Every structure is written in C-alpha cells, then in structure tokens.
Amino acid sequence: MAHELAAICDVCTRAVADGEGSFWVDMSEVDRCSTNVRAWELLETKQVEPGLHAYDAASLMSYPDAARWRVHHTACDPNPNANAYAVEVHRCRSWADLVWWRTAHLMGKTWLQHTDWEDVLQGAADADGSRISPTSPPKRHQ
Ligand SMILES: [Zn+2]
C-alpha cells in the first residue's frame, strides 16, 4: 500500500524508503537559537508594565533563525555526527502520524519553538515537494 506521506532527502531530493534515513534536527542548532532568542529579548524588548514586554516591528528582522528540520538518507547525511534528535522516516507515513504521533509528541518538547516545525507542516499542507510531502495532492479548505 502506498504511504500518504513521503520523506524527501534534502541532498538528493529522492524519497527516503523505510529504514534508509530519518528526519532530524541538530540540537546544537536548537541550543544556539534558544540562546540567541534570550539575547534578542534582552536587547530588543522593553518592559511596558510588570509582566508585559513590547518590541518594535522592525526588530523582528533580527529575530534569530529557527533550527531547521532536515531529511536525509543515511548515506546522504552531510553531518552524520551531529548532536541530532532524529526520527526514522517510517514513523511519519500518514497524516495521522504527522498530526498525532509527531506533532502532538513534539509539542511536549520545550525546544520545539526553536525549530521550523511550523514550516515543515506548511510544506506538507502545500505539497511543496520537500521534507515531509504528500504522495497525492492534499485537499485544503480556505
Ligand atoms: Zn539522499
């Protein structure tokens, strides 16, 4: 049976078969983002009243980049020794896997906000052909 979702390798842009790779995020990158966000908050926000901080829209330009989720065949992985949080591709093969097992599980991680998981989900919904991508066009309602 065909899977609903394919994992697309960042390097060779071919689908990753079960057992041949994973999607992962570099925890060193996550830590760096977390540190940079704290620094950004100190620098760019000011307290307007107790417990309430504000920032200029322009300062969002310097908001630190989130750590990027990557998909690789084990053989294509340019950084196999990274300090990775990795999930094997066979664990994310259906929309239900993506919503429940992956997203609900990841929402329990305090560091998820420092990754671009939201972009992964949007890419899947838009069928943009990278990372997690549906094998048949998804139906969306505006
Ligand atoms: Zn590859």
pTM of the model: 0.88
Domain hosting 96: range is 5-30+66-134
The structure tokens 């929309």 sit at 95
What's the rounded Cα separation, in Å, for the pair 18 and 31?
29
Instruction: Flag whether 40 is in a domain.
Output: no
**What separation in angstroms does the CA of 15 have from each of 73, 75, 89, 91, 118?**
9, 13, 10, 15, 21
**What separation in angstroms does the CA of 90 have from each of 4, 33, 47, 94, 120?**
11, 28, 46, 9, 17
Instruction: Flag whether 85 is in a domain.
Output: yes
Report how many domains make up the chain: 1
Instruction: Flag whether 36 is in a domain.
Output: no
- CA of 77 from ligand 1 middle (Å) equals 7
Token duo for residue 67: 């750590």
Instruction: Flag whether 99 is in a domain.
Output: yes
- CA of 21 from ligand 1 middle (Å) equals 8
- CA of 18 from ligand 1 middle (Å) equals 13
- CA of 27 from ligand 1 middle (Å) equals 21
Q: For 79-136, what is each residue's pLDDT tens digit?
A: 998 999 999 999 999 999 999 878 888 999 999 999 999 999 999 999 999 999 999 9
Instruction: Flag whether 44 is in a domain.
Output: no
